């Protein structure tokens, strides 16, 4: 299996281990054919984004005991590429870590659209 690359073209870095994120709950925003949502964007979630996501039918704030911790503003989480794009279009897209965002996001969003949101732009 080829190593996943980030938006810098380097090996994908960990997004978060606390809370444990990623489609595979391994801390990495990586994807494959099993991940229909394409959880590839390592985002620093905000109150505005969490409220937006809840309005879209995906409550990321409320914990589900034993399954999901519930997110708080200031935590990193692997977001679905299309949810990030929806938030971008609505003006509430969270900042992202390029080093921990899978380059697969470029199938949905351009690098130019992502750059203003980079927390680690070189």
Render each residue's pLDDT in the chain as its tens digit; 122 residues.
Answer: 567 899 999 999 999 999 999 999 999 999 888 888 899 999 999 999 999 999 999 999 999 988 888 999 999 999 999 999 999 999 999 999 999 999 999 999 999 999 999 999 75
Number of H helices, E strands in the chain: 3, 3
3-state SS class at 82: helix
3-state SS class at 77: strand
How many C-beta neighbours within 10 Å does residue 64 have? Answer: 9
pTM as predicted? 0.93
Q: The sheet that has 76-80: what strands, in order across it?
A: 76-80, 39-44, 95-96
Q: What is the pLDDT of residue 68?
A: 87
- Give the residue among 48, 55, 62 at the shortest CA–CA distance from 92: 48
Q: What is the pLDDT of residue 35?
A: 80
């Amino acid at each position: 299996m080829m190593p996943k690359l980030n938006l810098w073209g380097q090996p994908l870095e960990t997004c978060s281990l606390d809370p444990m994120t990623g489609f595979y709950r391994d801390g990495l925003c990586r994807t494959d054919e099993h991940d229909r949502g394409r959880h590839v964007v390592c985002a620093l979630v905000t109150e505005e984004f969490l409220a937006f996501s809840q309005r879209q039918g995906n409550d990321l704030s409320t914990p589900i005991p034993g399954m999901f911790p519930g997110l708080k503003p200031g935590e990193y989480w692997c977001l679905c590429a299309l949810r990030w794009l929806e938030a971008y279009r609505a003006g509430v897209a969270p900042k992202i870590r390029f080093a921990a965002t899978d380059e697969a996001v470029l199938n949905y969003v351009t690098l130019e659209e992502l750059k203003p949101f980079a927390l680690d732009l070189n």
